[in-house]
Amino acid sequence: MAAESKSFQAVAAPVPPLAIRLHTTGISETLRRRLTWAQVIIAFLAVECGVWAARLSVRNRWALAAGIIVVVFAVLDRPTVRRLGLGLPNARGSSLMLGTGLICAVLLMFLRRWVGGPVPANPLFPNMHLAWQYMVWALAQEFILQSFFFTRCEELFGSATAVWVTATFFAAVHLPNMVLTTFTLIAGLFFCEMFRRYRSIYLLGIVHAVLGLTLSTTIPASLLFHLRVGIGFLR
C-alpha cells in the first residue's frame, strides 16, 4: 500500500511551474506566452486545414503537415517524458480510465438494444479487421490533444481551465457533425481530466479507440455519417 501511495504521488505531482522552465530556457514570461499562443494557433489552423481543404489530396498534405508541426513544436519545447504523458499511470489511474471507458461502451450497447435497434447498427461499418489502425490513430490523437494542446493550454489558462479549453478544441475539430461533436466534447472532458491527474496517454488511446468503435457499432450511419467531419461531412 505504501509503495502504491508513493507511486500515485509521483504520477500526480504537478508539472514544473512555468517560472522554472522560463529560468532554464532564459526567455521572459511574456515572450514564452506569445510563443505558446503562436504554437497553439498554428497547430490548430493546420489541423483545421486538414479537415476543411476542398480536395482530398490537399487535406492529406495538411494532415501530414499538422502532425509534423506538432512533433517539431513538442521537441523544440524540450519537454520531460512526464510532461508529454509518455509515462505509465499507476493502478488507480489505470483502473479509473479503463473502467470508465468499458462502462460507457457497455451502456451505449445497452441503450442501443433498449431503443430497439440492432447491434451492430451498421453491418459494414466499422471494419473490425482494421480496428488496430483506428487504435493507432486514437493514440496519435491523444498525443496531439494532450501532449501538445493540453500542456500548452495549461500554461496559458491553468490546469483546471485547460481541461475545458482543450476539450472544446477537440470538439470543434469534429464540426459540423453535431452528434460526433457532442460525444467528443463529453469524451474530451474525460480524457483531459484523466491526463491532468495521471499524465499518461497510452490507456487514454485505448479507451479512445474503444469508445470510437462502440459509437460506430451502436449509432446508425444516418446519424453518425461514418465519423466524417469537416468538408467530408458536408459532401
- Say yes or no to pLDDT of 9 above 50: no
Question: 206 lies in which domain range?
Answer: 2-234
Least reliable range by pLDDT among 9-13, 92-96, 121-125, 207-211: 9-13
State the residue for C-alpha cell 499507476.
90
User: What pLDDT sits at residue 89?
Assistant: 87
pTM for the whole structure: 0.86
* Cα–Cα distance measured from residue 93 to residue 198, given in angstroms and rounded to the nearest whole number: 6
Instruction: Summarize the confidence of residues 131-144 as an average pLDDT.
Output: 93
- Say yes or no to pLDDT of 15 above 90: no
Summarize the chain as % helix, strand, coil (round to 5).
80, 0, 20
The answer to whether 84 touches 61, Cβ cutoff 8 Å, is no
* Cα–Cα distance measured from residue 233 to residue 63, given in angstroms and rounded to the nearest whole number: 17
Q: How many domains does the chain have?
A: 1
The DSSP line for 54-90 is SSHHHHHHHHHHHHHHHHHHHHHT---HHHHTBS---
pLDDT tens by residue, 21-48: 554 555 788 999 999 999 999 999 999 9
| All three cell numbers of 107 | 451502456
The DSSP line for 111-173 is HHHHTT--SSSSTTSS-GGGHHHHHHHHHHHHIIIIIIIIHHHHHHH-HHHHHHHHHHHHHHT
* Cα–Cα distance measured from residue 124 to residue 82, given in angstroms and rounded to the nearest whole number: 40
Question: pLDDT band at residue 129, thresholds of 50, 70 and 90?
Answer: confident
| All three cell numbers of 105 | 461502451
The answer to whether 173 touches 228, Cβ cutoff 8 Å, is no
User: What pLDDT sits at residue 16?
Assistant: 53
Task: Please list the residues that pair with 200 across neighbouring strands.
Answer: 86
Least reliable range by pLDDT among 76-80, 117-121, 124-128, 164-168: 124-128
Question: pLDDT band at residue 11, thresholds of 50, 70 and 90?
Answer: very low
User: What pLDDT sits at residue 22?
Assistant: 52
